């Protein structure tokens, strides 16, 4: 029986992870749960799974839950780190949203855990730090949950990177795929929240609309699979049935397909290299009329171009881009800036990023994150 710590239990990945754990209750036990602030939902889960180790990031919400449960719950970043490093836990599912997920990932690695990683900001903010931590803690390993990275992980199947010609990350293109650039000025919050394929949290839905999400995934893929940026491509595939591909040096192109259902990559991340049955919708190829592909428009989707640039510049630039984006997306959701202003401000903040000598360390990553948040917040 493997004990699981689920960080980000109340979001859409959390829901799917809980369903996978339920379908395999003979193999996985929910040991601990963390959430940002939805304490009522956590209360329900705690009762259903008899979970005693709980963290609510938001202190006030944590107090409410403690009162209700009759025992104290952890709060804040230290609480998240504690749940990520619980001695009894075998697998940490990190489905936290945003840069707050970085330190818990690191804690889990330092304790030699298996990390099933859905928090892409971990790798964007501190990729080299995570790579070094994995090297120093050989018992620990990461399996990706993000559907694209799960697809690449499955296509690679442990093949050495020397055999890889390139990684091809697919993108749905989001709700503005077919909009002309002159309409971008008038994009509303409601337009941007209307994702054609996936139903997700607000932040990642906006990131999908701007294609920043794909940009973050490019950087995540670079660090997870240790593949240079000029060997990572993005291809728009509106049907979102091919979740990503690997081009090998012998000309073979491997793809992973499946219904767009996050339970599949979550289960792969938990059970790899085994494959267990999963009760979920199947892809019926004969019922699909067509598969289409085209190159992304880097003019329309400036965020995607900026992410490639941030990745190639390296150092603190990805961390600063990511932090600025988080703040700007919040402000966009509050109606304080236009959709087209998101990349404009990110570009300005990236231009101010200091260059560092040597390999990025944790302190530099955290400082860059704080600094970029300040810069972005000072615009309002």
DSSP 31-96: EEEEESS-HHHHHHHHHHHT--EEEESSHHHHHHHHHHHTS--EEHHHHHHHHHT-TT-SEEEE--
**Which tokens belong to 315?**
């150092």
* Identity of the residue, 148 or 371, whose beta carbon is nearer to Mg ion in the bound complex: 148
Determine the Cα–Cα distance for residues 96 and 111; give it in Å rounded to an integer.
19
Distance of closest approach, residue 195 Cβ to Mg ion, in angstroms: 11
DSSP 121-175: HHHHHHHHHHHHHHHH-TT-EEEE-SHHHHHHHHHHTT--GGGEEEEEEEE---T
Contact residues: Mg ion, CB under 5 A? 146-148
Distance of closest approach, residue 146 Cβ to Mg ion, in angstroms: 4
* Helix ranges (DSSP H) in 179-225: 189-192, 202-210, 212-225
Helix, strand, coil percentages for the chain (3-state, nearest 5)? 50, 15, 35
Question: In whole angstroms, how far apart are CA 278 and each of 188, 268, 369?
Answer: 38, 10, 39
DSSP 8-class letter at 294: B
Pair 51, 31: CB distance under 8 Å? yes
Q: In sequence order, which residues have a C-beta less than 8 Å from that of residue 36 and are 6 or more positions away?
A: 8, 10, 56, 57, 58, 96, 97
* Nearest alpha-carbon partner for 120 in 327, 321, 293, 356: 321
Q: Which residue is nearest to Mg ion (CB)?
A: 146
Query: Which phi-psi region, left, alpha or beta, contains residue 97 (left: φ > 0; alpha: ψ -120 to 50)?
Result: beta
Distance of closest approach, residue 11 Cβ to Mg ion, in angstroms: 14
Distance of closest approach, residue 117 Cβ to Mg ion, in angstroms: 12
Q: In sequence order, which residues have a C-beta less than 8 Å from that of residue 284 and are 6 or more positions away?
A: none
* Identity of the residue, 147 or 154, whose beta carbon is nearer to Mg ion in the bound complex: 147
* Identity of the residue, 73 or 169, whose beta carbon is nearer to Mg ion in the bound complex: 169
Distance of closest approach, residue 211 Cβ to Mg ion, in angstroms: 11
Query: In 3-state terms, what secondary structure has residue 2?
Result: strand
Distance of closest approach, residue 212 Cβ to Mg ion, in angstroms: 12
* Identity of the residue, 101 or 315, whose beta carbon is nearer to Mg ion in the bound complex: 101
Distance of closest approach, residue 167 Cβ to Mg ion, in angstroms: 13
Buried-exposed string 62-79: b where 16+ CB fall within 10 A, e elsewhere: bebbbeebeeebbbeeeb
Distance of closest approach, residue 62 Cβ to Mg ion, in angstroms: 30
Distance of closest approach, residue 217 Cβ to Mg ion, in angstroms: 6
**Which tokens belong to 6?**
């689920």
* Identity of the residue, 204 or 317, whose beta carbon is nearer to Mg ion in the bound complex: 204
* Identity of the residue, 62 or 144, whose beta carbon is nearer to Mg ion in the bound complex: 144
Distance of closest approach, residue 261 Cβ to Mg ion, in angstroms: 13
* Identity of the residue, 86 or 148, whose beta carbon is nearer to Mg ion in the bound complex: 148
* Identity of the residue, 74 or 221, whose beta carbon is nearer to Mg ion in the bound complex: 221
* Identity of the residue, 171 or 319, whose beta carbon is nearer to Mg ion in the bound complex: 171
* Identity of the residue, 234 or 349, whose beta carbon is nearer to Mg ion in the bound complex: 234
């Amino acid at each position: 029986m493997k004990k699981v710590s689920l960080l980000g239990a109340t979001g859409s990945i959390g829901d799917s992870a809980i369903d996978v754990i339920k379908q395999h209750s003979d193999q996985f036990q929910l040991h601990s749960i963390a959430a940002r602030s939805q304490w009522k939902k956590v209360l329900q889960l705690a009762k259903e799974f008899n979970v005693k180790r709980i963290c609510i990031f938001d202190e006030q919400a944590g107090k409410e839950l403690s009162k209700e449960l009759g025992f104290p719950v952890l709060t804040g970043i230290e609480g998240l780190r504690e749940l990520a490093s619980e001695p009894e836990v075998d697998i940490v599912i990190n489905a936290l949203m945003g840069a707050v997920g970085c330190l818990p990932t690191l804690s889990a690695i330092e304790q030699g855990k298996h990390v099933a990683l859905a928090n892409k900001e971990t790798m964007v903010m501190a990729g080299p730090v995570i790579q070094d931590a994995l090297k120093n803690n050989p018992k620990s390993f990461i399996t990706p949950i993000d559907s694209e990275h799960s697809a690449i992980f499955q296509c690679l199947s442990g093949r050495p990177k020397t055999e890889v010609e390139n990684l091809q990350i697919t993108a749905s293109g989001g709700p503005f795929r077919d909009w002309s650039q002159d309409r971008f000025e008038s994009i509303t919050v409601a337009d941007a929240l209307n994702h054609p394929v996936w139903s997700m949290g607000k932040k990642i839905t906006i990131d999908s609309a701007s294609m920043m999400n794909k940009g973050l995934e490019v950087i995540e893929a670079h660090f997870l699979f240790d593949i240079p940026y000029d060997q990572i491509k993005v291809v728009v595939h509106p049907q979102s049935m091919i979740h990503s591909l690997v081009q090998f040096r012998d000309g073979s192109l491997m793809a992973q397909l499946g219904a767009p259902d996050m339970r599949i990559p979550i289960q792969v991340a938990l059970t790899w290299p085994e494959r267990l049955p999963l009760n979920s919708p199947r892809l019926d190829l004969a019922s699909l009329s067509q598969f289409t592909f085209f190159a992304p428009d880097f003019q329309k989707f400036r965020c995607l171009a900026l992410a490639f640039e941030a990745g190639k510049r390296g150092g603190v630039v990805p961390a600063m881009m990511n932090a600025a984006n988080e703040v700007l997306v919040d402000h966009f959701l509050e109606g304080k800036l236009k959709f087209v202003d998101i990349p404009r401000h990110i570009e300005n903040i990236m231009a101010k990023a200091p260059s560092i000598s040597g390999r990025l360390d944790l302190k530099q990553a955290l400082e860059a994150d704080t600094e970029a948040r300040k810069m972005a917040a000072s615009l309002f």
